[in-house]
Amino acid sequence: MTEPTKSSFYLTTPIYYVNGEPHIGHAYTSIAADVLARWQRLDGKDVFFLTGTDEHGQKVEKAALDAGIAPQAFADTVSKSFRDMADAMGVSYDDFIRTTEPRHKEACAALWRRLEAAGQIYLGAYEGWYAIRDEAFYGEDELIAGPNGSKLAPSGATVEWVREPSYFFRLSEWQDRLLAFYEAHPDFIAPQARRNEVLSFVRGGLNDLSISRTTFRWGVKVPRSDDMGDQVPGDPAHIMYVWLDALTNYLSACGFPDETAERWHYWPANLHLVGKEIVRFHAIYWPAFLMAAGIAPPKRVYSHGWWTVEGEKMSKSVGNVVDPNALVAEFGLDPVRFFLLREVPFGNDGDFSRRALISRMNVELANDLGNLAQRSLSLIARNCDGVLPAQGAHTEDDTIILSAAAALPGLLRAAITRCAFHEALEEVWKVIRAANGYIDRQAPWALKKTDLARMADVLRVLVDVQRAVATVLQPFMPGSMDRMLTQLGVPAQGRGLDDLATPLPAGTQLPAPAGIFPRHIETAP
């Protein structure tokens, strides 16, 4: 008999521009994606989790020039910072793609050729607005008024007037097919508010999209073509539009165009996780390119909100950019991961403040969860020779808390599938708070003097509840939950969701309990 094959789950972060060092906003997306990847693995899926860096285009070229370093050397350094950031944040990526890699450039050329063969590309000239910061073209009607009568992109980025020969993608032909696609796949764009924005933008009509530039060199060259008659100006004069280049990364990592490649079966991606400012590229251009090239579009694009810092937009000029490495050095990795996903409903904007982080850490981690573990495990250490008690007969109070714990995997699966991380965590904390109520009501420290057998039953219930809690929290706080599960006597190979159905053997010697979440005491500056 052959083993049933695991169903696969392919998810991606955006690939980050290497024009500047990573900050907490980048760490946020990567950590959220990591929680999903770890959850899907825990749930038995064959996961392919991709992250990486977007290294071409004018924005990066300009940053390299400003730094007085050649673009490739500059990209090498900053790309490494992003990889280090992912490693430092515990991001369990399976591949880190760089758009300067040969495998990626080959995939870009192959996608271009397919679009060309499908009659979707023509040569023309672009004349209009371009924002380097967004690497985006804007229509006159989209611009907003800036200072001194100037015009700005809707994002606030400076725009410049561009006039140059350009290849175009026939995006205008895709309006109806995109609308039909959104209709047939109501979950393709989430949350709903973002879906509505995309729908109204597409309903408003689409212009053909400029997909090459000729006024700078840092990018993937447009492949030479013989099929374009006398219009061919020597295509290597054209550099691919950086968004066509960047979006292709999701295919390159699967081995495209080699459909016999080991990873090709992961396509189409289950989820592209992105910030709200890049939804248009992922939810309009990307499925249009793919459908035009005869490739299945991804299943879902989920866009999350933006972090401000102490009420202000994060920016180098304000000097309030939060460095995730410094944060982890001060508070520890798991409290930071927990805070980012707990504080703000995913999809909404949020504000980062030290006070809020410290409060979550002290109240929810140190008090609610840390104390629960410490109280129950130290009673086992002192009164049960440090040995896991057997499961006893259950009272109604026991059954209530045990069933709440047993419901966690199902509740979390449902919430995490919707990227509702804050809801998932709230479900877990409901059980943690209930377990603290249970320990207070049952008072095992008092039972020690009156009913030793009942005391052991209560402590065993508490271990079983915490085992479920720590198991489902692993994707959020992998390091601390590893320590907690070890203290609860759960073997390393028995920490999957399915393993919760098998009771822990009584009589296991538990390690001496040690605090998992220290309180953070703010020292005066």
Q: How far is the CB of 262 from ligand MSP (least distance, A)?
A: 22
Pick between residue 152 and residue 157 the one whose CB is nearest to ligand MSP.
Answer: 157
Single-letter amino acid, residue 118: A
Pick between residue 27 and residue 379 the one whose CB is nearest to ligand MSP.
Answer: 27
Pick between residue 99 and residue 466 the one whose CB is nearest to ligand MSP.
Answer: 99
Q: How far is the CB of 25 from ligand MSP (least distance, A)?
A: 2
Pick between residue 86 and residue 463 the one whose CB is nearest to ligand MSP.
Answer: 86
Assess contact for 367 and 358: CB atoms under 8 A: no
DSSP H helical segments within 68-191, as ranges?
71-88, 102-117, 175-184
Strands 239-240, 212-213: pairing is antiparallel
Q: How far is the CB of 21 from ligand MSP (least distance, A)?
A: 11
Please list, in sequence order, all residues whose beta carbon lies within 8 angstroms of the beta carbon of residue 250, skipping any fewer than 6 positions away.
Answer: 12, 50, 269, 272, 298
Cα 108 to Cα 115: distance, rounded to the nearest angstrom: 11
Q: How far is the CB of 264 from ligand MSP (least distance, A)?
A: 19
Pick between residue 275 and residue 345 the one whose CB is nearest to ligand MSP.
Answer: 275
Pick between residue 166 and residue 248 the one whose CB is nearest to ligand MSP.
Answer: 248
Pick between residue 14 and residue 489 the one whose CB is nearest to ligand MSP.
Answer: 14
Cα 377 to Cα 388: distance, rounded to the nearest angstrom: 10
Q: How far is the CB of 16 from ligand MSP (least distance, A)?
A: 4
Cα 78 to Cα 86: distance, rounded to the nearest angstrom: 13
Backbone angles phi, psi at 462, to 5 degrees: -65, -40
Question: Considering only CA atoms, which of 114, 81, 102, 6 is closest in space to residue 496?
Answer: 6
Q: How far is the CB of 241 from ligand MSP (least distance, A)?
A: 12
| E-strand stretches of 114-193 | 121-131, 136-138, 144-145, 151-152, 160-169, 189-190
Both structure tokens of 374: 């410490």
Q: How far is the CB of 30 from ligand MSP (least distance, A)?
A: 8
Question: Which residues are near ligand MSP by CB under 6 A?
Answer: 14-17, 25-26, 28-29, 54, 246-247, 249, 274-275, 277-278, 306-307, 314
Position of minimal CB gap to ligand MSP: 25
Strands 95-98, 209-210: pairing is unpaired
